[in-house]
Amino acid sequence: MIALKNIRVIDLTQVMAGPYCSMLLADMGADVIKVEPPGKGENTRQMGPPFVNGESGAFLSVNRNKRGMTINLKTEEGKKLFHKLATTADVVVENYRPGVVRRLGIDYETLSGINPRIVYCSISGFGQTGPYSNRGGYDLIAQGMTGIMSVTGERGGNPVKCGLPITDLGAGMFACYGILTALLAREHTGKGQYVDTSLFEAGIAMSVWESTEYWYSGQIPQPTGSGHRISTPYQAFKASDGYFTVGADAPHHWPKFCEIIRLPNLPYDERFIDGTVRLKNLSELILLVEEQTKNQTRSYWMEKFEDAGIPAGPIQTYAESLCDEHTLSRKMVTNLEHPIAGSIKALGIPVKLSETPGEIKSPAPLLGEHTEEILQEIGFENEEIKRMRQNGIA
């Protein structure tokens, strides 16, 4: 059995946050029906490079395990078709700008009137309420406005965007969490509900250390490079063949760390005697440490620190990370066969369930690939399906 086997999700989303949310549900067995407009489909199908035999890598990366269907929601017949589909669904996920779904007649109020058990999730840049709710939302904008860019980068440097689309992915995960919570509540109440989250709130919610520093110290958080906000040494250091990270901030790790890097007297130096003063003199500490670490390879230091029980790891490129033996042993890389792109790789499922594990069983759908199949499931006859297809309704 797969955990969400009997849950049907209608996916009206595009680009990153919404598709990522619905993919997480699909990986755990939900029947996710990706609804796109006829013709070109959602915007991500045209995003690239990279393209694989004309198929967008960006689209393939967040739409696996879904079935694809086309509906022209700008027509009255298309709207009625969507309403009929919604009567069979448990969840609807959308990430239009606020107000669009209401104009289309596919908003929560409309659908809950048709199907009171529906859980309806909206993901937007800034949420459905508040002074910024009507603004367009992009990961870059959310990272800037929530403070993330102000604390990313080297000390004293310019603001830098996080290398990952962190508010997009975060909003997708929070949306998934909200949907599953609402589905669990429905087991007790019998009713669905509205779930509202945003890129902006994801950025704020993940700023745990930074908000703490500001509220409890009065200091405005600044960039720390690879370092930690309140602990040191907990950062990257240079080796002869690249960089590695080490977390030797615990009291029992600090003296061992100093012995390994051949600076056994450092723990008794007044500039570095405890964590508080080490943070104040961090620049000096880094210079002293790297004078030692740059003379040996990453693997040399990894072996030394591992033997001493000090957490450490090499800074790897994605070429190294995706081929790492641990990555592969945890099944975080998988292979799929796509009818056009051919053999493609995909990231694995990061949560392992012992009794109802997820499964990656199909690549992202072709545009409208399962339209006829789904229409038949909800009661349409072949002649009616043929007419709707010819008229651009589905």
- Per-residue pLDDT of the chain in tens (394 residues, 90 and over written 9): 899 999 999 999 999 999 999 999 999 999 999 999 999 999 999 998 899 999 999 999 999 999 999 999 999 999 999 999 999 999 999 999 999 999 999 999 999 999 999 999 999 999 999 999 999 889 999 999 999 999 999 999 999 999 999 999 999 999 999 999 999 999 999 999 999 999 999 999 999 999 999 999 999 999 999 999 888 999 999 999 999 999 999 999 999 999 999 999 999 999 999 889 999 999 999 999 999 999 999 999 999 999 999 999 999 999 999 999 999 999 999 999 999 999 999 999 999 999 999 999 999 999 999 999 999 999 999 999 999 999 999 9
**pTM above the 0.85 mark?**
yes
The first and second tokens of residue 150, run together, are: 């102000």
Is the bond preceding 233 in cis, omega lying within 30 degrees of 0?
Answer: yes
- What distance lies between CA 331 and its chain's CA centroid? 18
Cβ-proximal residues to 356 (8 Å cutoff; 6+ apart), any chain:
1, 2, 3, 28, 29
The first and second tokens of residue 186, run together, are: 């429905």
pLDDT on residue 136: 86
Is 90 labeled as catalytic in the residue annotation? no
CB-neighbour burial class of residue 132 (10 A; exposed 0-12, middle 13-18, buried 19+) = middle
Candidates 27, 90, 139, 168; catalytic one: 168
- Cβ–Cβ < 8 Å for 87, 114: yes
| Phi, then psi, of 182 in degrees rounded to 5 | -65, -35
pLDDT on residue 231: 87
Domains of the chain plus CATH, in order, are 8-206+326-390 (3.40.50.10540), 234-315 (3.30.1540.10)
